Structure 1
Amino acid sequence: MAFPERFSDLPEYAFPRLRALLDHHAPGGSPLAMTIGEPKHAFPDWLGATLADNLAGFGVYPPNEGTPELLAAISGWIARRYGVAHPASGLMVLNGTREGLFNTLVALCPETKAGKRPVVLVPNPFYQVYAVAALAIGAEPVYVPATAATGFLPDYRSLPPEVLDRVAVAYICSPANPQGAVASAEYLADLLDLAERHDFTVFSDECYSEIWREAPPPGLLQVAAARGTDPDRVVVFNSLSKRSNVPGLRSGFVAAGPGAMPRIRQLRAYAGAPLPLPLQRVAERLWADEAHVEQNRALYQAKFRDAAAVLAGHQGLTLPDGGFFLWLPVEDGEAAALKLWRETGVRVLPGAYLARGTGADNPGKGYIRVALVAPQDETRRGLVALRDCLYG
């Protein structure tokens, strides 16, 4: 069976490409993966007991949208974190944010916009699911560079009016993956103003929101509430994966307005898989606890201080405001990743694999993404090896 034509221009997923690049070469030292954003810090030690206390829940079908207790815990966290009273009726539990980032576009994107094929705006580089979701529903993904010249955030306002009038949804990620840039309250307010002017919805991917160096990033719900934006123009996604070091729990949420949420929930009733009840009980407790989040953040902040010390003086290095990646400038990302692997055993991701475009038109070509997820001593070893190999 032929692959659908609408997916023909989609690049291969990043990690199979990386394996093809590196795996037929022997590592030049003890292997150290600094590629995937899989947290390695410990999750709270009470998690196992909470799960064990609720094992009987595996014997029942769980609520599709989330238990009332879990939705209340998420609503409470939003209130504490952003000062926004977002009701439980405007929330739905997800099997990780990737599910929601895809299915919510299916649920909300119209078949036409301004009588034409709808446009979905995607920052470039980007998390691959944004583009796949757009192509799956027959929308046109428009990749907007997020480079040093634009503060590593997409300048959607620079697009021609005829394109903006066709926009149905704009994705934004803050802190950004891979660059770690944080969208300021002013940036988000400007984006909402643009959305109102051209009648589109903003999807905000905020799964790195609790990992920051100096100040907590503002959230779209917070900015929208302050300026009185129509709640149905705003959809926000977040997850416990990075915040609580439980990527295998597959627990996140989507927050939306009163018009949008029934459509999101209706689609999930047919096409989604609800989170098992024992995992919802664990998630409920995780959203209610901030002590482990503060400890986790402190570990990342220590590693960023190490990165600043190890890589000090190297041209182009900027520490990100949020997230746990370094977006390091190199002459060619693929060549740098291959050299680093063959000479040191450190494994990083070429930036071009996270972006759309060929040659110099690919905004990730001159970068590598380095994940600071390993324990501090291993991370420092990897950074020293990277410095000596690529910048020495």
Structure 2
Amino acid sequence: MNPLLDKLQPYPFDKLRKLFADVTPNPAYRPISLGIGEPKHPTPAFIRQALADSLDGLAAYPATAGSEALRAAIAGWLERRYGLPKLDIATQVLPVTGSREALFALAQTLVDPRRGDALVACPNPFYQIYEGAAYLSGAEPYYINSNPARNFAPDYQSVPAEVWARVQLLYLCSPGNPTGAVLSLDDWQALFDLSDRYGFVIASDECYSEIYFKDEPPLGGMEAAHKLGRAGYPRLISFSSLSKRSNVPGMRSGFVAGDADILKKFLLYRTYHGSAMGPAIQSASAVAWGDETHVQENRAKYIQKFREVTPLLAEVLDVALPDAGFYLWAKVDKLAAISDVDFAKRLYAEYNVTVLPGSYLAREAHGINPGQNRIRMALVAETAECLEAAQRIVEFTRKLAAH
């Protein structure tokens, strides 16, 4: 067996199941889960129809590089969304079966196994795929703590030069999971300067980019590179997905785009790995990337939901509207001294609401666990259900404070 598998930690939801194993939730309340970031808004009918109309494609093997029509649809979306110059669909865009598998696979492509001191840097808290990808590529993860004083953006300035010199890949997530933080153009300039100096690749996870609460949409990595005059997007690979944007997590459809030299090697890896997207999924995905009306309608639902739920929770928790994404990242000890783990367990037991302890999404690094005493709440259900959950959380938290 590969000994690197022993380095993998249980997934946050496995930890949550273990935490709840001996708990019988209060039967007076129906269960409501804010624990998993799985979109619950309905899949648009036109995407379902496009999938059904494309089933003849099941009789053919798909190309790993995807169809020309899908690559053109992805490139067109990138150009419209981020104001990019025309992309080469043959070299700068590649469909993937969901951003998750591509985020994992990129490390296997990029990390040099001959180098015994390789690091893969990632934010902390983080999406656990980054950590697993680092370990199974033969590297070690290096955690960069989020900084509440910077709206929870990772504190990249805290990383020593000798660490950057060992980094081969930097994962970043903007808008962030779980914090919702969005990197600024100045942040990108600093990261590009570091990449130029030390030669590492930036993997920009942008799967929450279309759920935002301000008039100006979140800045993307390729958009930042273009604004800063970085032609060809050197050492930058951006990831996106239809899962959150279009409410189709079951389709497993996304893309990578950016540096053509890296994508050429990544396509070679994927050809051997067997990661081609099914033809019917490709056809439906091309249709989805070409439509913005359903995205605007979806975003409007989130805006309304967060405007109603956030002020309610802010009465009892230290929480504010994020820049983007569909999570609230709340500090739980505003009214009562309680850990994130105890808060989640008691809330589930007494009010049948599931939230995810923040410490499960982070690692202790540089003397702290930046998720400690925080919880992540995924506001993915319809507004009425999220409001009911929020009202229960308010009642529970006030009861804690009274005792």
TM over 0.5: yes
Q: For 1:231-242, what aligned pairs fall within 5 Å after superposition? A: 231-242=233-244
CA–CA distance in 1 between the matches of 2:118 and 2:365?
24
Q: Secondary structure in 2 aligned to 1:101?
A: helix
**Percent identity of equivalent pairs:** 41
2:220 pairs with 1:222: no
- From the superposition, tell whether residues 358 and 266 of structure 1 become closer, same or farther in structure 2 (CA, over 3 Å): closer
2:91 pairs with 1:84: no
**2:315 and 2:394 in contact (8 A); partners too:** no
- From the superposition, tell whether residues 112 and 167 of structure 1 become closer, same or farther in structure 2 (CA, over 3 Å): farther
Q: For 1:86-165, what aligned pairs fall within 5 Å after superposition? A: 86-88=87-89, 89-111=91-113, 117-165=117-165
Q: Match for residue 179 of structure 1? A: 179
2:15 pairs with 1:17: yes
Match of 2:353 among 339, 346, 363: 346
Deviation at 1:190, TM superposition (A): 1.5
Q: Structure 2: any 5+ residue segments left out of the alignment?
A: 333-337
CA–CA distance in 2 between the matches of 1:279 and 1:204?
24
**1:112 and 1:118 in contact (8 A); partners too:** no
Counterpart of 1:245, as a letter, is: N
Q: Secondary structure in 2 aligned to 1:365?
A: coil
Cα deviation per residue 1:121-176 (whole Å; 9 max; x = unaligned)? Answer: 11011101101111111112101111313431212232111111111111110110
Q: For 1:68-83, what aligned pairs fall within 5 Å after superposition? A: 68-83=68-83
Q: Structure 1: any 5+ residue segments left out of the alignment?
A: none
2:265 pairs with 1:263: yes
**1:172 and 1:202 in contact (8 A); partners too:** yes
In the superposition, the TM-score normalised over structure 1's length comes to 0.95
Q: Match for residue 306 of structure 1? A: 308
Deviation at 1:223, TM superposition (A): 0.7
Deviation at 1:327, TM superposition (A): 0.7
CA–CA distance in 2 between the matches of 1:243 and 1:391?
35
CA–CA distance in 1 between the matches of 2:367 and 2:119?
24
Deviation at 1:9, TM superposition (A): 4.4
- From the superposition, tell whether residues 387 and 287 of structure 1 become closer, same or farther in structure 2 (CA, over 3 Å): same
CA–CA distance in 1 between the matches of 2:275 and 2:7?
29
**2:213 and 2:324 in contact (8 A); partners too:** yes
Aligned Cα root-mean-square deviation (Å): 1.7
Q: Secondary structure in 2 aligned to 1:223?
A: helix
CA–CA distance in 1 between the matches of 2:363 and 2:384?
34
In the superposition, the TM-score normalised over structure 2's length comes to 0.92
Counterpart of 1:291, as a letter, is: T
Q: Match for residue 210 of structure 2? A: 210
Q: Match for residue 335 of structure 2? A: none
- From the superposition, tell whether residues 359 and 377 of structure 1 become closer, same or farther in structure 2 (CA, over 3 Å): farther
Q: Secondary structure in 2 aligned to 1:142?
A: strand
**2:143 and 2:365 in contact (8 A); partners too:** no
2:395 pairs with 1:388: yes
CA–CA distance in 2 between the matches of 1:152 and 1:162?
24
Deviation at 1:298, TM superposition (A): 0.4
CA–CA distance in 2 between the matches of 1:333 and 1:358?
18
Q: Secondary structure in 1 aligned to 2:272?
A: helix
Counterpart of 1:72, as a letter, is: A
Counterpart of 1:40, as a letter, is: K
Q: Match for residue 189 of structure 2? A: 189
Counterpart of 1:177, as a letter, is: N
Q: Secondary structure in 2 aligned to 1:63?
A: coil
Counterpart of 1:228, as a letter, is: G
CA–CA distance in 1 between the matches of 2:108 and 2:125?
22
Q: Secondary structure in 1 aligned to 2:376?
A: strand
Q: Secondary structure in 2 aligned to 1:361?
A: coil
Q: Secondary structure in 2 aligned to 1:236?
A: strand
CA–CA distance in 2 between the matches of 1:235 and 1:133?
16
Question: What is the number of equivalent residue pairs in this alignment?
Answer: 388
Counterpart of 2:149, as a letter, is: A
Q: Secondary structure in 2 aligned to 1:203?
A: strand
Cα deviation per residue 1:273-328 (whole Å; 9 max; x = unaligned)? Answer: 21110111000000000000000000000111012331244452121110000111
Q: Match for residue 372 of structure 1? A: 379
Q: Secondary structure in 1 aligned to 2:138?
A: coil
Q: Which moved more, 1:339-348 or 1:307-316?
A: 307-316
Q: For 1:22-101, what aligned pairs fall within 5 Å after superposition? A: 22-28=20-26, 29-85=29-85, 86-88=87-89, 89-101=91-103
Counterpart of 1:20, as a letter, is: K
Counterpart of 1:347, as a letter, is: T
Q: Secondary structure in 1 aligned to 2:142?
A: strand
**2:222 and 2:258 in contact (8 A); partners too:** no
Q: Match for residue 199 of structure 1? A: 199
